[in-house]
């Protein structure tokens, strides 16, 4: 053991065959630092600076400042708006969350038939702009609605807004609660029944503690979505005004930017509060499910299943009625006098540019989905799988901001930042490019969390193994990481596409006549009294979103089938592979 064959410490340490490999190191550095740098630029320019611009405008600038703030907040009008917003949002949350909980419970903890169908129907509101439920309500309960006798006065006002928001926010709450109820440890239920606990007692001591955090999160999300939405109030609000609508009117109608910024800041408060509390709760309850948990399979129970089936059918029937009404009304020649079915409303003749709004939306949605998903997924990859440093930490923090910022507030920030003449980027204002940037930034957090979840399920040593085999990281990412995570990537693409098609909250402040969008056109046509046209455009958006979702789901399923050889085999032996995290992709505010 003491013989040392060929040690020569004096020999020059570094030799030439390192040189050939330093090329690979250089490419890796470009991929890692370049990717992170790009993400940093996007987050700073598209999220941080606009928000700071809004704060600056609210506290400083003309029309803002502390004096203006005091004047606004102490006015009776503002207090009336605030009271209206709070009562609408609270009412909506109190209706939606219990309803969504029952629905989610039916899907996750009972044995009712047709779960896939009910789930698909319940997701319909995600596929359309928030104005669509409002429009359908007018045709159902409005002055000339087919069911107008059901409401004492008419639909315009408090209950109209509440009903519209209930429909609009239902799937968002449902997604959170489905995922909250998906975790159940069968051993706990076995233990409870062996000790003679009734189903109700088991629910109170096992199911409810496990899901109440989801209930809180759903409540916060519904509250925030409702208080910042102006799509429903603008259609069915009538004289009942709310804050979100006021911010929209102040900026778009009256050019009162300071006032808009101040209201935007008020609307940011509930979002920030609920975001903070949710993060705190999440950290506290981490790892409450142990790794050895066994999957819970509900036992058959005819009474329970028929009750829940009844609830589910009622909810789905209501949703189908609303969406069917919207589609039907878009085909009616002249409501309510001539009910013959025609495609007149689909000509969009009184819309400047006509169909170009729809094609603009298609371009926006496609670009946001393609560029956004690649940027977000690659960014998440670099954040998860490369060496952690200060830049990674900064990126992590910045990428959580969009989650806490409602679209309305982000849009206002864009007005204040990109509309500054001194901003070298002001040339982007009003272009589709800026709309793409804004859409990606707006929906970044949820998409990135899906990507991170998928990436974390991969073996942490894949990258180390690739490096030891001298494979450039970018090439490894394309050859191994992306193919394995393809279902999650398609999920992100679908989420970004549908969100871009349906959102008005930020886009309403950023479009120009050349970059008119379909969802914005719905709002404008409704405003101009062309409710038939608005219904037609809403229907187009609905069909496009649903069609693309089905298409991507089919592609995803096809890919899963093709890769079945390794995916299924792998699940037996190794960690389960990511198949996509649909449950996370709900919170499009």
Partner 1 sequence: MTQHNMQVRGIHKGFGAFQALDGVSLDVEAGELVCLLGPSGCGKTTLLRCIAGLEKQDRGSIVIGSRDVSNLPPQARDYGILFQSYALFPNLSVAQNIAYGLSGDSREVVRARVSEMLELVGLLGSEKKYPGQLSGGQQQRVALARALAPKPSLLLLDEPMSALDARVREHLCGELRQLQKNLGVTTLMVTHNQDEAMLMADRIAVMNQGHVEQYATPQQIYNQPATPFVAEFVGQGNWLPFACGQDGSARVGGLQVQLPQAKALQQGRLFCRPEAVVINPHEGIDNQFHAQMRDVTFLGNRCRMNFELTDLPGLTLQAELSPEAMPRLASQDIRVALPSSSLQVFA
* Nearest C-alpha neighbor of 235 from the set 245, 220, 246, 226: 245
* Nearest C-alpha neighbor of 161 from the set 78, 92, 80: 92
CA distance between the termini of the chain = 69
| Cβ neighbours of 199 (radius 10 Å) | 14
Least Cβ distance, residue 464 to partner 1 (angstroms): 5
Residue 11 or 113 having the CB closest to partner 1: 11
Residue 355 or 462 having the CB closest to partner 1: 462
Least Cβ distance, residue 465 to partner 1 (angstroms): 4
CA pair distance 200, 191, nearest whole angstrom: 14
Residue 7 or 152 having the CB closest to partner 1: 7
Residue 195 or 574 having the CB closest to partner 1: 574
Residue 43 or 488 having the CB closest to partner 1: 488
Query: Given the structure tokens 């009562």, which residue do they identify?
Result: 87
Least Cβ distance, residue 373 to partner 1 (angstroms): 19
Residue 274 or 481 having the CB closest to partner 1: 481
Contact 67, 421 (CB under 8 A): no
Residue 364: φ, ψ to 5°:
-60, -50
Residue 484 or 582 having the CB closest to partner 1: 484
Least Cβ distance, residue 391 to partner 1 (angstroms): 16
* Nearest C-alpha neighbor of 68 from the set 77, 79, 60, 76: 60
Residue 396 or 575 having the CB closest to partner 1: 575
Least Cβ distance, residue 5 to partner 1 (angstroms): 6
Give Cβ neighbours of residue 558 (< 8 Å, ≥ 6 apart).
Answer: none
Chain CA centroid to CA 81, Å: 26
Helix extents (H) in 11-130? 19-43, 49-59, 65-74, 76-109, 115-122
**Four-residue CA torsion sign, 291, 274, 137, 512:** negative
Least Cβ distance, residue 301 to partner 1 (angstroms): 38
Least Cβ distance, residue 469 to partner 1 (angstroms): 3
Residue 332 or 466 having the CB closest to partner 1: 466
What DSSP designation does 425 have? G
Residue 249 or 567 having the CB closest to partner 1: 567
Helix axes of 518-527 and 356-385: crossing angle, nearest 10 degrees: 130
Burial bucket for residue 576 (CB in 10 Å: 0-12, 13-18, 19+): exposed
455-471 burial, b if ≥16 CB within 10 A, otherwise e?
A: bebbeeeebeebeeeeb
What six digits make up the tokens of 561?
A: 């089938």
Least Cβ distance, residue 432 to partner 1 (angstroms): 36
CA–CA distances in Å: residue 7 to residues 2, 10, 12, 17, 75: 12, 9, 12, 19, 86
Least Cβ distance, residue 381 to partner 1 (angstroms): 15
Interface residues with partner 1 (CB under 8 A) are 1, 3-9, 11-15, 18, 21-22, 24-25, 28, 459, 461-462, 464-472, 479-480, 483-484, 563, 565-574, 577
CA pair distance 318, 124, nearest whole angstrom: 12
Least Cβ distance, residue 574 to partner 1 (angstroms): 7
Burial bucket for residue 158 (CB in 10 Å: 0-12, 13-18, 19+): middle
Q: Report the length, in residues, of the chain.
A: 589
CA pair distance 225, 208, nearest whole angstrom: 24
Contact 379, 199 (CB under 8 A): no
Residue 187 or 557 having the CB closest to partner 1: 557
Least Cβ distance, residue 454 to partner 1 (angstroms): 14
Residue 258 or 472 having the CB closest to partner 1: 472
Least Cβ distance, residue 463 to partner 1 (angstroms): 9
Residue 347 or 568 having the CB closest to partner 1: 568
CA pair distance 164, 120, nearest whole angstrom: 19
Least Cβ distance, residue 564 to partner 1 (angstroms): 10
């Amino acid at each position: 053991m003491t013989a040392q064959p060929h040690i020569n410490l004096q020999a020059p340490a570094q030799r030439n065959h390192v040189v050939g490999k330093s090329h690979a190191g250089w490419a890796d550095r470009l991929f890692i630092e370049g990717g992170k740098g790009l993400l940093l630029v996007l987050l700073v320019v598209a999220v941080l600076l606009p928000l700071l611009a809004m704060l600056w405008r609210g506290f400083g600038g003309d029309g803002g400042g502390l004096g203006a703030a005091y004047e606004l907040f102490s006015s009776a009008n503002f207090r009336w708006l605030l009271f209206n917003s709070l009562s609408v949002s609270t009412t909506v949350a109190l209706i939606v969350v219990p309803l969504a909980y029952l629905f989610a419970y039916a899907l996750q903890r009972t044995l009712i038939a047709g779960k896939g169908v009910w789930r698909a129907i319940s997701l319909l509101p995600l596929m359309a702009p928030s104005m669509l439920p409002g429009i359908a309500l007018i045709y159902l309960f409005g002055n000339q609605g087919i069911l107008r006798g059901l409401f004492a006065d008419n639909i315009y006002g408090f209950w109209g807004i509440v009903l519209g928001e209930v429909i609009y926010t239902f799937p968002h709450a449902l997604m959170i609660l489905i995922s909250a109820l998906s975790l159940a440890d069968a051993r706990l239920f076995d233990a409870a029944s062996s000790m003679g606990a009734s189903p109700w007692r088991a629910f109170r001591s096992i199911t409810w503690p496990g899901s109440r955090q989801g209930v809180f999160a759903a409540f916060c999300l519904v509250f925030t979505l409702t208080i910042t939405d102006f799509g429903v109030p603008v259609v069915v609000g009538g004289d009942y005004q709310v804050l979100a609508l006021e911010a929209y009117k102040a900026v778009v109608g009256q050019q009162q930017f300071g006032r808009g910024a101040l209201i935007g800041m008020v609307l940011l408060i509930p979002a920030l509060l609920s975001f903070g509390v949710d993060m705190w709760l999440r950290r506290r309850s981490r790892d409450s499910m142990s790794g050895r948990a066994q999957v819970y399979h509900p036992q058959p129970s005819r009474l329970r299943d028929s009750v829940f089936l009844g609830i589910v059918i009622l909810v789905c029937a209501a949703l189908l009625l609303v969406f069917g009404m919207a589609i039907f009304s878009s085909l009616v020649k002249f409501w309510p006098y001539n009910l013959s079915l025609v495609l007149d409303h689909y000509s969009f003749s009184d819309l400047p540019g006509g169909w170009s709004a729809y094609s603009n939306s298609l371009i926006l949605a496609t670009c946001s989905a393609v560029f956004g998903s690649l940027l977000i997924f690659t960014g998440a990859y670099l954040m998860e799988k490369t060496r952690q440093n200060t830049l990674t930490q900064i990126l992590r923090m910045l990428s959580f901001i969009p989650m806490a910022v409602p679209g309305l507030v982000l849009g206002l920030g864009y007005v204040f930042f990109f509309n500054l003449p001194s901003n070298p980027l002001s040339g982007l204002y009003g272009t589709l490019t800026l709309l793409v940037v804004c859409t990606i930034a707006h929906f970044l957090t949820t998409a990135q969390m899906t990507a991170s979840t998928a990436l974390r399920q991969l073996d942490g040593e894949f990258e180390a193994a690739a490096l030891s085999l001298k494979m450039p990281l970018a090439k490894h990412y394309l050859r191994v990481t992306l193919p394995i995570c393809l279902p999650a990537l398609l999920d992100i693409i679908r989420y970004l596409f549908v969100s871009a098609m349906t959102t008005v909250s930020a886009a309403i402040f950023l479009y120009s006549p050349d970059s008119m969008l379909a969802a914005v056109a719905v709002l404008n046509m409704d405003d101009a009294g062309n409710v038939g046209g608005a219904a037609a455009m809403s229907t187009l958006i609905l069909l496009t979103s649903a069609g693309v979702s089905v298409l991507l789901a089919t592609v995803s399923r096809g890919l899963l089938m093709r890769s079945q050889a390794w995916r299924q085999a792998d699940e037996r032996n190794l960690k389960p592979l990511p198949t996509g995290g649909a449950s996370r992709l709900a919170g499009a505010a």
